[in-house]
Amino acid sequence: MPTQDDVLGYFDTLSNWGRWGDDDELGTLNHITDDVRLAAARAVRHGRSVSCAWEVAVPEEMERSTMACPCAADMPGAENMPTAFHADRRWGFSNERLGMSFHGNTITHLDSPCHLFWDGTMYNGRSHSLVDAATGSAWAAVTAAANGIVTRGVLLDVAGARGVPWLEPGQGVVPEDLEEAERRQGVRVRPGDAVLLRTGYGRFRHESGAASGFKQAGWHASCLPWLHERKVALIGADTPQDVQPSGYDDVLMPVHAVSLVAMGLWLLDNCDLEACTTTAAELGQWDFQLAVAPVRFAGTSGSPVNPIATF
């Protein structure tokens, strides 16, 4: 297992700063080439799609104000609209105003590289000062992925490989677990892939009806060199990624920190992988086309998303 000094060294040894140019904001998404996308399309062999996201609960996770107007002609200000609008008394409408804080351990969301700083610095050596309270981040925001993330996804069911319904909080996933899951499932992670890690926490959350606190299963820092070597474009998990506690006093969230700041590796937090796992086992297929389309929120450090796996 890597020591704390080893993990701190990852900021240098696993760094992708300058790899794709000094102005690069995509980081490891550069591994997703046209050929990788074509290969992802060929992974669609059954035409079945499943969501890898949780429903956003109201009002626990989202503030919501809904307006229902049974007859639009009666809405305030209708008299100032064109005649055809306020004279038609048959149509109505509803709309919403939504508010949420999507970072955390419940909502399925994408982290872009500007989400984390290390010593005041973001991916590719940019200063945290590029993040402004009024306009957001001028560097490596989620809009860098405005064209979407479409690649081959690989689900690694580590809970299944260990023969347990779910990993217990505090249990870390190490490279040997990933390779055992590959062997068991007959699949191998390739450059440009998105790797989705199943700890079984989604099953626990479905059965218990509750999300855990700050202690969880997840990626151990020892997986970072493995992900770098395999040229993985994106990682996701059914937890907020990092095993907690991490085991390192000075690096509380090493997977988040090294991935986003040094590697430019984008993260999918809090996936619900249970339907994806059931479908993969039924079809005997553990790779698929994964599509992630973040909302183009200017200057934001991520976006709530609904990742879709198509088998």
Average pLDDT of the residues of the chain: 96
How would residue 34 be classed by pLDDT, with cut points 50, 70 and 90? very high
How would residue 212 be classed by pLDDT, with cut points 50, 70 and 90? low
Contact status, residue 241 vs residue 217, Cβ threshold 8 Å? no
Contact status, residue 192 vs residue 231, Cβ threshold 8 Å? yes
State residue 79's pLDDT score: 87
CA distance 106 to 240: 8
State residue 75's pLDDT score: 86
Strand partners, 151: 290
Contact status, residue 24 vs residue 140, Cβ threshold 8 Å? no
Q: What are the φ and ψ backbone dihedral angles of 303, each rounded to 5 degrees?
A: -160, 145
CA distance 102 to 116: 15
Contact status, residue 135 vs residue 114, Cβ threshold 8 Å? no
Bond before 245 cis per omega within 30 degrees: yes
pLDDT above 70: residue 98? yes
pLDDT above 80: residue 142? yes
pLDDT above 80: residue 210? no
Looking at the chain, list the stretches that DSSP marks H as alpha helix, in order from N- to C-terminal side. 4-13, 34-42, 83-87, 158-162, 175-185, 201-208, 223-229, 254-257, 274-283
Contact status, residue 258 vs residue 223, Cβ threshold 8 Å? no
In 3D space, the residue among 190, 262, 198 whose CA is nearest the CA of residue 236 turns out to be 198
State residue 72's pLDDT score: 87
Q: Which residues contact 121 (CB under 8 A, 6 or more apart)?
A: 127, 128, 261
Structure confidence by residue, pLDDT tens digits, 169-208: 999 999 999 999 999 999 999 999 999 999 999 999 999 9
State residue 108's pLDDT score: 98
pLDDT above 80: residue 168? yes
Please state, as a whole number, how many other Cβ atoms lie within 10 Å of the Cβ of residue 8: 17
State residue 81's pLDDT score: 85
State residue 76's pLDDT score: 86
Structure confidence by residue, pLDDT tens digits, 260-275: 999 999 999 999 999 9
pLDDT above 80: residue 85? no
Q: What percent of the chain has pLDDT over 70?
A: 100
How would residue 36 be classed by pLDDT, with cut points 50, 70 and 90? very high
Residue 2 CA from chain centroid, whole number = 25
Structure confidence by residue, pLDDT tens digits, 231-256: 999 999 999 999 999 999 999 999 99
Average pLDDT over residues 62-75: 92
Kind of pairing between the strands at 266-269 and 234-237: parallel
